[in-house]
Amino acid sequence: MTQRTDILIVGGGLVGASLALALDAAGRSATLLEAAPARTNQAAGGDDNDRNLVLARASVNALKALQVWPHLDAAAGTIRRVEVSRAGEFGKLRMTAADAGVDALGRVVPGSVLGTALQRQLAACRRIERLAPAKLLALAPMESSWHARVAMAGEERNIEARLVVGADGSDSLVRAQLGIGAQEHDYGQSLFVCTVECGRDIPDCAFERFTDEGPVALLPLPNQRRGLVLTVSADRHDEVAGMDDAAFIALAQQRFGWKLGKLSRPGKRFVHRIRRVLAGAVIAPRAVLVGNAAQAVHPIGAQGFNLGLRDALTLAELIAGADDPGTANLLNEYASRRQPDRDGVLAFSHGLIALGCLPQPALAPLRSLAMLALGGIPPLRHAVARRGMGFRGEPPTAALDAGP
Ligand SMILES: Cc1cc2nc3c(=O)[nH]c(=O)nc-3n(C[C@H](O)[C@H](O)[C@H](O)COP(=O)(O)OP(=O)(O)OC[C@H]3O[C@@H](n4cnc5c(N)ncnc54)[C@H](O)[C@@H]3O)c2cc1C
Ligand 1 geometric centre to CA of 14 (Å) = 6
More confident residue, 212 or 295: 295
% of the chain residues with pLDDT over 90: 68
What phi and psi, each to the nearest 5 degrees, are found at residue 86?
-125, 125
pLDDT of residue 367 exceeding 60, the answer is no
Question: Among 340, 345, 346, 342, which residue's Cα sits nearest to residue 289?
Answer: 342
Instruction: Pick the atom of ligand 1 nearest to 111's CA.
Output: 17
User: Averaged over 172-178, what is the pLDDT?
Assistant: 98
Per-residue pLDDT tens over the stretch 121-143: 999 999 999 999 999 999 999 99
Neighbours of 119 (CB within 10 A): 20
Q: Within 13 Å and on the Cβ side, how many CA atoms surround 207?
A: 20
Q: Model pTM?
A: 0.92
Q: Within 13 Å and on the Cβ side, how many CA atoms surround 90?
A: 4
In this prediction, residue 90 carries a pLDDT of 55
- Mean residue pLDDT of the chain comes to 88
Q: Give the type of residue at 193.
A: V
Ligand 1 geometric centre to CA of 118 (Å) = 13
In this prediction, residue 381 carries a pLDDT of 63
pLDDT category, 299, cuts 50, 70, 90? confident
The strand pair at 287-289 and 225-233 is best described as: unpaired
Query: Any residues with Cβ below 6 Å from ligand 1, and which?
Result: 10-16, 33-36, 51, 53-54, 135-136, 167-169, 173, 191, 193, 272, 291-292, 299, 302-306, 308
Domains assigned to the chain:
2-184+275-395 (3.50.50.60)
pLDDT of residue 227 exceeding 90, the answer is yes
Between vectors from CA 286 to CA 282 and to CA 291, what angle results, nearest 5°? 35
pLDDT category, 278, cuts 50, 70, 90? very high
Contact (CB, 8 A) for 161 and 2: no
In this prediction, residue 390 carries a pLDDT of 81
Per-residue pLDDT tens over the stretch 76-110: 999 999 888 876 555 567 888 888 888 998 999 99
The strand pair at 205-211 and 214-220 is best described as: antiparallel
pLDDT of residue 215 exceeding 90, the answer is no
pLDDT of residue 189 exceeding 50, the answer is yes
More confident residue, 379 or 254: 254
In this prediction, residue 347 carries a pLDDT of 83
In this prediction, residue 364 carries a pLDDT of 53
* Residue nearest ligand 1's atom 31 by CA: 13
Contact (CB, 8 A) for 149 and 138: yes
